[in-house]
Structure 1
Amino acid sequence: MSAFKCVILLSISLITSYCFPVNAADSSFSVLEKLLSKSTSHTESVQTLERYRSDLSKWSVLEQARFYIKLADHQTELSQFAEAEENYSRGIGILTPLGASQPLIHALTERSYVRYIKTYDKSFYCPDRVLAAEYARELQDQDTLVKALTQLAFCYNNRAQFESGLKLLQEALAIAYDAELTPNRIAMIYNATALIYQKIELNAEAYHYLLKAYQKWASVDDKIDMLSMLHGLVASAIKLGDWELADKHVEEMFALANRSPEHTDFTFFAYFNAGRAALAKRELSTAVEQLNVALARQEDTAEKFFVWLTHATLAETHLRSGDWEQANEQAEAFLANPNISDDLGYWKALCEAIIAAKIQDGQTALLKVLSIADSERKQKIDFINDAALRATHSHSEKLTQFENQLLTKEVEINRLALANERDQRKIAYLTITVIVVFTLGLSAALFFLIRSRRLLQHRAQTDFLTGVANRRYIMEQAERIIDRAAHRGDNLSVILFDIDHFKRINDTYGHQAGDKAIKQIADVTIGSLRPGDILGRVGGEEFLVVLPAAGQKQALEVAERLRNAVACHPLDMNKQKIQVTISLGVSTLKSDCSTLTALMHAADDALYQAKGAGRNCTQVASQPQLA
């Protein structure tokens, strides 16, 4: 785009803004954004956006681009891929002349995803990822750059390009760890690494990184990506010949589908993977049963690639069981796909061989079988060659290491000979001894210094009675986490709770009982929290829990779990059972409640309401205080 065109577009934007001034308080676009924030479904959001399409001429160029991208985002969630691609393209067309920006990078990345789902053709969806990475480098935003580099790495997943893909992922991983980015970003890198290893048949390494990605996404309960990783884990386990692992991950897919009814395609993928695992074990009747259930649910998924793959897998299953009619029917259904990608080359050749055999064209059938054998042979040769290169590299490293050891020994012999000639061997040994003793002493001193420093730091951060974070440390940690969540727009909640009738416990049973109650409740709370949640004691019997990545619903579930756990663990004091309960207040990060002070104030008000409601209950802050 020429500089002249850029100037023209910017001038249009300025003129539009002047003629139709945008005021955050009363503009149509501002009203639209407020309405979208209150939408309860993607369908409702799309309907709202469509109602405001007639107002486009009143908005600035940038606002028009944002409109198209928002509309495309919601259409993607509804699997309206053709409409989403069109609207992403409109937004990209507007933003490209204006240079690098987060909305432009987001639109390019999401359009590439839509094109991936539609075609699975790298030549069609990868150019957008190349552009997104280039713009991300210009923008110098670490989170955006990591996402763009990781998405681009998926495009370098064949044998000839895998080193380029790994370099991109290594760069992304270094940035992610340095910037302390979210588990989602780290998981994306692990996922891309696994895919690259899968393509070059390093299946053990692929499984390792898929499992690391699954664990990262599980830590933030990202169900969609968890299912995607389980899908990959089943495939890797099958290639490794580990049927027990494959069955374990299939069971996890069904469990995830059962607790995620909002994701209707989860069940399709669970049955599909159960079918291909059964086929790998040659349990053919089970494979047919599971794959047929998957086909019956094909309308639940927008990823038609796997519907075609189900037909092909069924064709092989029927062929192995001797049911030629069904094998031919499924082969024809698979070959009806007009866009069979290179990834399905094996299945295409197999289905064509089945159909040729059905019509008694033996020559064609044999040629197709030979093409499969040739492909398998080439893959093995490529893998063996890669293994030979790795072995050669390893051998060269060992040889160099051995030569260095020999050289070191020769130098040592010459040094000792020279010391003998000068009659200074004793001095040399003494010098070495002194150095070694000094080094060991210094190392020991450094070890104890580091250990003491860590111990002092731990004590400075830990409550002496409960072993959880003390007030100062929990406040520091909470403030840092809340600021980051508010900046990124992430979910976050806090829980403030204290022990009901704590003074009565002290007065009746003594301070020893009070201390024991505080310690027991801290222990029970730790056992009831999610990974990544933070607990601290902020007062006598008062505790603060910080819940990253938790909205109001999740926070309420955690609070109720804590309350029930405490109530189920009476205090054992001199063989006497003392019932102990807690009251809890929950507040959630919002635009008008975005600091630690505001969140604690809101939670404290909710805690006060819980006390007034009879104690042993949870209240959610309804009207957070302004920050």
Structure 2
Amino acid sequence: MRPGRWSLGITALLWLGLAQAGSLVELQSALKARKDPAERLQAVEASEADSLDWPLEDRGRRLILLGLELEANHRIDDAFEAYDSAVSLLRGGPPGPALVDALLERSYITYVRTNQVDAYCPDRREALDLARQVGQPEPLANALVKVAFCYQTRPEDFTEALGLLQEAVSIAEAEGLSGDRRAMIYNATASVYRGASLHDRSYEFLGKAYDLWAKAGRKQDMFNMLHTMVVEAMSLSREADAQRHVDQLFELADSSPEFTDFRFFAYYNQGLLHYLAGRYEAALEPLDQALALADTTEERYFVTVAYAMRAIALHHTGQRDKGAADARIYLASDAADPESEFHPMCKAVVAEAERDLPAAIAALWILERVQMDTRRRLLGRVFDAQARVLDERIAVYDNRFLQQTLQLQQAELARLES
């Protein structure tokens, strides 16, 4: 956090109605009355002096609020510092739900920065251990769901991932947690299935999560689901569905200008769709558009992948020098994943531009594709039976949720008629 950047004068404090925030509850109440991200951030920062006398847990909660508002103002590095400060502060007290939340929020910023499971999952695993000590259902369910995402690159531990999600479902059943939590469980389930190459099940649960978030008007979450559904639809050879999801991404970008990176991701996914379909010429324009908007997103991993896709598309269309330039950008990026298929492909693009053997490059590409397809088919056979276990458990949960909703509606109708 950069101290002083958002310092306020007395007039501004009075205008905000936050000359004093005597407690965390008062601060939270004041934030509910404000929609503008800059005003909300100012309100949290204005409470710093008052917070010095708050209980340790509340001071940690305030730092988490600060991180969330910094995120909303696109200050990702400062948000990380706020969450990091919250973790350090809260470690000085007994384990509590605030420390669980601080670790999970810090892990999210690490995800945005790197998209590397090994980088962002240690915080999540620590949060889960703490949540079990705390013993409260909401933070435990949250940590279970977040840790489940750590298994998307470990299909060999598929059964363990299912166990975490089954535990989260059990908590949701017992505690009647919100529809938001239900959507998060669906999203995590999709991630686990995707990691095991069970794309039909992944696509199904992404759709379930999307429907719940659409009902709640949660545009950011809707967008995130559509972003992933494009890839899953293409993995299932359902290009028409993938294009429909891309169109939905553009519609959300048009209707939600407050989300500044929506348009980048809409163009990114249009380029990705053409790339996966082998239409390299068609992929170039949307990838150009996406990279022109690269500064609007904090998720550098996807910017890096866009360079890789454009490098390969340029190579296929005969623009080898331009392709090699993009490939070098990809390979030099800290966000590049050495385990990704893009890594050897970009190395091949550079090698060809430097007059290496084109035949060897073509063989490398074909080998990568064959290995990936073989792995998908194998994992699908191995894990299909186990996948049905969680499907059945969640189906039971769905039925109970619908029954509870119907009971609430009937009670409300009876109240109105009485």
Does the 8 Å CA contact 2:337/2:343 hold for their aligned counterparts?
no
Tell me, yes or no, if structure 1 residue 297 matches structure 2 residue 290.
no
1:243 maps to which of 224, 236, 239: 239
Q: Distance in 2 between matches of 1:146 and 1:390?
A: 24
Q: Distance in 1 between matches of 2:313 and 2:76?
A: 32
TM-score scaled to structure 1, two decimals? 0.56
Offset, 1:307: 0.9
Tell me, yes or no, if structure 1 residue 254 matches structure 2 residue 243.
no
Offset, 1:347: 0.9
> CA separation of 1:177/1:349 partners in 2, compared to 1, >3 Å: closer, same or farther?
same
Structure with the higher fraction of residues in strand conformation: 1
- Of structures 1 and 2, the larger Rg is shown by 1
| Structure 1 residues 361-510: aligned runs within 5 Å | 361-362=356-357, 372-387=365-380, 389=382, 473-474=412-413
Q: Distance in 2 between matches of 1:180 and 1:300?
A: 38
Does the 8 Å CA contact 1:352/1:368 hold for their aligned counterparts?
no
Does the 8 Å CA contact 1:353/1:366 hold for their aligned counterparts?
no
Q: Distance in 1 between matches of 2:189 and 2:62?
A: 34
> CA separation of 1:367/1:98 partners in 2, compared to 1, >3 Å: closer, same or farther?
farther
2:324 maps to which of 325, 328, 331: 328
Offset, 1:180: 2.6
Match of 2:260 in 1: 264
- Secondary structure of the corresponding residue to residue 302 of structure 2: helix
Deviations 1:571-606 (A, max 9, x none): xxxxxxxxxxxxxxxxxxxxxxxxxxxxxxxxxxxx
TM-score scaled to structure 2, two decimals? 0.81
Tell me, yes or no, if structure 1 residue 53 matches structure 2 residue 48.
yes
- Secondary structure of the corresponding residue to residue 305 of structure 2: helix
Q: Which amino acid aligns with 1:474?
A: L
Q: Distance in 1 between matches of 2:200 and 2:80?
A: 37
Tell me, yes or no, if structure 1 residue 216 matches structure 2 residue 195.
no
> CA separation of 1:311/1:180 partners in 2, compared to 1, >3 Å: closer, same or farther?
same
> CA separation of 1:39/1:351 partners in 2, compared to 1, >3 Å: closer, same or farther?
same
Does the 8 Å CA contact 1:350/1:369 hold for their aligned counterparts?
no
Match of 1:340 in 2: 336
> CA separation of 1:306/1:27 partners in 2, compared to 1, >3 Å: closer, same or farther?
closer
> CA separation of 1:79/1:370 partners in 2, compared to 1, >3 Å: closer, same or farther?
farther
Q: Which amino acid aligns with 2:137?
A: Q
Match of 2:351 in 1: 356
Offset, 1:152: 0.5
Offset, 1:202: 1.6
> CA separation of 1:333/1:177 partners in 2, compared to 1, >3 Å: closer, same or farther?
same
| Structure 2: runs of 5+ lacking an equivalent | 1-19, 387-405
Q: Distance in 2 between matches of 1:383 and 1:119?
A: 25
Q: Which amino acid aligns with 2:198?
A: L
Tell me, yes or no, if structure 1 residue 139 matches structure 2 residue 131.
no
- Secondary structure of the corresponding residue to residue 155 of structure 1: helix
Match of 1:159 in 2: 155
> CA separation of 1:282/1:367 partners in 2, compared to 1, >3 Å: closer, same or farther?
closer
Q: Distance in 1 between matches of 2:278 and 2:381?
A: 32
Higher relative contact order, chain-length normalized (CA < 8 Å, sep 6+): 2
> CA separation of 1:390/1:200 partners in 2, compared to 1, >3 Å: closer, same or farther?
closer
> CA separation of 1:140/1:369 partners in 2, compared to 1, >3 Å: closer, same or farther?
farther
| Structure 1 residues 39-188: aligned runs within 5 Å | 39-55=34-50, 57-157=52-152, 158-188=154-184
Q: Distance in 2 between matches of 1:392 and 1:230?
A: 27
Q: Percent same amino acid at aligned positions?
A: 30
Deviations 1:285-325 (A, max 9, x none): 33211111111122221111111111111112112222213
Offset, 1:70: 1.8
- Secondary structure of the corresponding residue to residue 154 of structure 1: helix
| Structure 1: runs of 5+ lacking an equivalent | 1-25, 394-457, 462-467, 477-535, 539-627
Does the 8 Å CA contact 1:194/1:210 hold for their aligned counterparts?
yes
Q: Distance in 2 between matches of 1:369 and 1:283?
A: 17
Deviations 1:324-383 (A, max 9, x none): 13212221222231232245x211111111111111133xx7666655555444434444
Does the 8 Å CA contact 2:22/2:51 hold for their aligned counterparts?
no
> CA separation of 1:95/1:294 partners in 2, compared to 1, >3 Å: closer, same or farther?
same
The CA RMSD measured in Å over matched residues stands at 3.1
> CA separation of 1:271/1:161 partners in 2, compared to 1, >3 Å: closer, same or farther?
same
Q: Distance in 1 between matches of 2:361 and 2:49?
A: 56
Does the 8 Å CA contact 2:155/2:195 hold for their aligned counterparts?
yes
Offset, 1:199: 2.1
Count how many residue pairs are aligned between Structure 1 and Structure 2: 381
Deviations 1:71-104 (A, max 9, x none): 1121122232222222212222222243332222
> CA separation of 1:305/1:392 partners in 2, compared to 1, >3 Å: closer, same or farther?
closer
Larger deviation: 238-247 or 284-293? 284-293
Offset, 1:387: 4.8
Offset, 1:34: 5.3
